[in-house]
Structure 1
Amino acid sequence: MRISIRAVAVTAALTTTAAVLAAAPASAGRDDARDDKAGRGAAAVRVATYNLSLNRAVEGELEADLSTTTDPQAQAVAEVIQRTRPDIVLLNEFDYVEGGVAADLFRENYLEVGQGGADPIEYPYAFVAPSNTGIPSGFDLNNDGTVGGGDDAYGFGLFPGQYGMAVLSKYPIRTDDVRTFQHFLWKDMPGALLPTAFYSPEEQNVLRLSSKSHWDVPVQVGRRTVHVLVSHPTPPTFDGPEDRNGTRNHDEIRFWAEYVGPGRANWIYDDEGVRGGLKPGSSFVILGDQNSDPVDGDSVPGSIQQLLENPRIVDPLPTSPGAPEAAVLQGGANATHRGDPRYDTADFADGAPGNLRADYVLPSRQLRPVGAGVFWPVRSDPLSRLTGEFPFPTSDHRLVWVDVRVPAGR
């Protein structure tokens, strides 16, 4: 049974719907890693991020595709989720449809129907909200002499909500306590890397930091609240010498580092006008396609290290057997990478940038990791049909999961 509740805020339509628990199969990791062997009331929760590329080129197309039960890509990405069975999962590149319609259709027609021999999975709790992608800024943000098109939107997109996000959960979402930061202005971040020589003062006064949005989604796990902090920073490419996308990517990542930091971060304001970062001592997990590899690719140096080296954050270093195999077989840029391919999460073009670690599940130190992985099977594994080669049956990104121990109590 799914119970849908809508809460309309000043700047965003929020949707939720309620939850059941399911155990993870052995194919995704040890089942007993999620049992409370110690008997201390702690819950082992699998948290995942998945850029499933379930976006479409035309507004309304995703809703139409998900209204059926036969879309091949939707079937395949649903099977990946069914095989890994996360309790909480962020979907990146999932077009926003007002009222959460697309999320409802994806759950009802794909996740709650067994795909490829996998068991169905239910996520009666969900959160969706608008994305900056495709919303016209009214300015020539790429300085090409014309106003209009994806590059002149607040975040790149051909229509409002393209490449949006959704959070699905088996645990209750505290909808009234969700914070969204869609409208936070880039210029309002102290020390921002905003290229002021590229953007006019008028453009700086409207340019938002988030290329999609930043959300703080509190999830109730027993008596403890876990803040699920989600975003999808812009790729640090597709720009010029001003590096406007690289610097924006850096600062989108920095936002969470500051939000969970020791300072009050009173410069942060949410879409309701409430200021400040996360309350000290709160449990959290940062999820998303951060579009930043620690050592390879085109990121501004140190971008993802703002999270990986943060003393309040644990990096469980998820790996897969398929990524190292792919790096060897595909060659190209992969042969010159300095990073260990075991940690790659995205199968990008072999010429450049090659495969990278782009997708992250990063818990706070209160949430002890007890398992982690990347869904990237070797080619000889029958499930490699779900990852494949370009054109991919699912996505060029891989689902990343981490099992965390959530202590009992608040």
Structure 2
Amino acid sequence: MKRAALVVSAAVSAALVAPTANAAEPVRFATFNASLNRAAEGELLADLSTPDDEQARKVAEVVQRTRPDVLLLNEFDYVEGNAAVDAFRTNYLARGQRGADPIDYPYAYTAPVNTGVPSGMDLDKDGTIGGPGDAHGFGVFPGQYGMVVLSKYPIGQARTFQQFRWADMPGARLPDDPATPEPADWFTPEELAQVRLSSKSHWDLPIDVGGRTVHFLTSHPTPPAFDGPEKRNVLRNQDEIRFWADYVTPKRGDYIYDDEGERGGLRPGARFVVAGDQNSDPLDGDSNGIRQLLQAPRVIDPRPGSVGAIEASLAQGGANGSHRGSPYFDTGDFNDEKPGNLRIDYVLPSAPLIPLRSGVFWPTSEEELSRLNDASDHHLVWVDLRV
């Protein structure tokens, strides 16, 4: 274990020496499910309105220690008008946390998501209309579990796909009611005309990196759990991931339309980085839908990892002992009995972007920064790219 501690020290040190916002230098892209979600609308903004929220301080310190240039935060409750984002930047990121240097993100993007938005339909088939299970994405209020992108580089005109209908995806994996002989009939035809694919949203954000555009493709598919024999969440997770695989593959994304009605996928040859908590491990857990994206043309998997994840897997045991995948690549620290720790957070660049270094911020217990491991049940994933 002493040797492992030395290895992770080098990894953490590498993360602390971050590239600067200069197109000639490597650019650090990152994703972090920060668990900055709250149980009621308005609670996150209240927590961030002062610099004293302990969890937010830890999240900010993780960001300050790793210093991404372009960062996706998952599970950051959406507040109209950027008020929560601005409060986090001002009260937390702009203040050095426990000796870390402040960090400035002059550009930010957030937008409405499907979580908590009432559908007016009984989508979970519990006999009543209303509640988190009947929202367009599971949530108790609109915007819960939202997303934020912070950037040192200008963000161009976004394409959003919040309202794209699941049934409009060719060959969609629609859930089936096991009590009837008809296939794929969990939702009625009337419901299918309204059911959305994205549980939060899918965003295509063009980032101007020194005159070169990198499309930051961000999302947060539903967990492949908390459903029944119809497996509607498992299937939705797979198709939410497939969306990006189709979007970046020439001609396969022709069916896609955005919230403004513009059709088609990404322009062939465009540079992109797919990022987010995909809730899918390629080998373990309840959904392996991420394989669709890992196998898509031009997608590069830098396979970031950490020694801290190995230590956690060995110490926690349980389901971790039967996993097929190496714990080195885990990004989430979950229930030991099921599903165990998993790799579910990704930063996946495209050719011709060149990955130089990558890592998962998960210090071992011997490291002083291990005090940040409980900031979230996920760990920040970063990749340095030559653009």
Both structures adopt the same fold (TM-score exceeding 0.5): yes
CA distance in 2 between counterparts of 1:83 and 1:314 reads 25
Answer yes or no: is 1:357 the counterpart of 2:352: no
CA distance in 1 between counterparts of 2:297 and 2:269 reads 13
TM-score (norm 2): 0.93
Amino acid at match of 1:277: G
Aligned partner of residue 251 in structure 1, secondary structure: helix
- Residues 311/266 of structure 1: CA separation in 2 closer, same or farther (3 Å cut): closer
Partner of 1:405: 386
Partner of 2:303: 317
CA contact under 8 A between 2:16 and 2:65: conserved in structure 1? no
CA distance in 1 between counterparts of 2:11 and 2:187 reads 51
Partner of 2:173: 193
Partner of 1:59: 41
Identity %: 65
Instruction: Report 1:139-150 matches (<5 A).
Output: 139-150=121-132
Aligned partner of residue 29 in structure 1, secondary structure: helix
Amino acid at match of 2:301: D
Aligned partner of residue 354 in structure 1, secondary structure: coil
Of residues 290, 295, 311, the one that matches 2:278 is: 290
CA distance in 2 between counterparts of 1:33 and 1:128 reads 24
Answer yes or no: is 1:328 the counterpart of 2:314: yes
Partner of 1:114: 96
Aligned partner of residue 218 in structure 1, secondary structure: strand
- Residues 165/258 of structure 1: CA separation in 2 closer, same or farther (3 Å cut): same
The Cα offsets for residues 242-262 of structure 1, whole Å up to 9 and x where unpaired, read as 110000000000000000002
Of residues 237, 242, 258, the one that matches 2:230 is: 242
Cα displacement (A) at 1:321: 1.1
Cα displacement (A) at 1:43: 3.3
Amino acid at match of 1:376: W
Amino acid at match of 2:213: T
Partner of 1:29: 14
Of residues 48, 69, 85, the one that matches 2:30 is: 48
CA contact under 8 A between 1:33 and 1:370: conserved in structure 2? no
Cα displacement (A) at 1:372: 0.2
Of residues 44, 50, 53, the one that matches 1:71 is: 53
Cα displacement (A) at 1:310: 1.6
Aligned partner of residue 26 in structure 2, secondary structure: strand
CA distance in 1 between counterparts of 2:65 and 2:51 reads 18
Amino acid at match of 1:214: H
Partner of 1:212: 200
Of residues 228, 233, 245, the one that matches 1:257 is: 245
Cα displacement (A) at 1:266: 2.1
Amino acid at match of 1:122: D
The Cα offsets for residues 36-65 of structure 1, whole Å up to 9 and x where unpaired, read as 9xx9x7431000000000000010000000
Give RMSD over aligned pairs. 1.7
Of residues 69, 87, 94, the one that matches 1:105 is: 87
CA distance in 1 between counterparts of 2:151 and 2:216 reads 10
Cα displacement (A) at 1:34: 4.2
CA distance in 2 between counterparts of 1:26 and 1:100 reads 34
Aligned partner of residue 362 in structure 1, secondary structure: strand
Aligned partner of residue 385 in structure 2, secondary structure: strand
Give the 4+ runs in structure 1 shifted more than 3 A.
25-28, 30-36
Answer yes or no: is 1:339 the counterpart of 2:319: no
CA contact under 8 A between 1:47 and 1:88: conserved in structure 2? yes
Amino acid at match of 2:173: L
CA distance in 1 between counterparts of 2:25 and 2:160 reads 27
- Residues 168/349 of structure 1: CA separation in 2 closer, same or farther (3 Å cut): same
Aligned partner of residue 31 in structure 2, secondary structure: strand
Aligned partner of residue 227 in structure 1, secondary structure: strand
Aligned partner of residue 76 in structure 1, secondary structure: helix
Partner of 1:271: 259
CA contact under 8 A between 2:120 and 2:129: conserved in structure 1? yes
CA distance in 1 between counterparts of 2:130 and 2:17 reads 53
CA distance in 2 between counterparts of 1:31 and 1:152 reads 43
Cα displacement (A) at 1:263: 1.2
Of residues 195, 219, 226, the one that matches 2:214 is: 226
Amino acid at match of 1:112: A
Of residues 376, 381, 386, the one that matches 1:395 is: 376
Aligned partner of residue 216 in structure 2, secondary structure: strand
Cα displacement (A) at 1:265: 2.1
- Residues 33/105 of structure 1: CA separation in 2 closer, same or farther (3 Å cut): closer
Partner of 1:181: 161
The Cα offsets for residues 319-373 of structure 1, whole Å up to 9 and x where unpaired, read as 1010000000000000110110000000000010000000000000111000000
CA contact under 8 A between 2:306 and 2:361: conserved in structure 1? yes
CA contact under 8 A between 2:20 and 2:27: conserved in structure 1? no
Cα displacement (A) at 1:35: 8.0
Partner of 2:371: 385
Cα displacement (A) at 1:30: 6.5
CA distance in 1 between counterparts of 2:18 and 2:77 reads 34
Instruction: Report 1:145-160 matches (<5 A).
Output: 145-160=127-142
Residue segments in structure 2 that go unaligned for 5+ positions in a row: 1-9, 176-183
In the alignment of these two chains, the number of paired residues is 370
CA distance in 1 between counterparts of 2:19 and 2:338 reads 38
CA distance in 1 between counterparts of 2:15 and 2:284 reads 31
Aligned partner of residue 335 in structure 1, secondary structure: helix
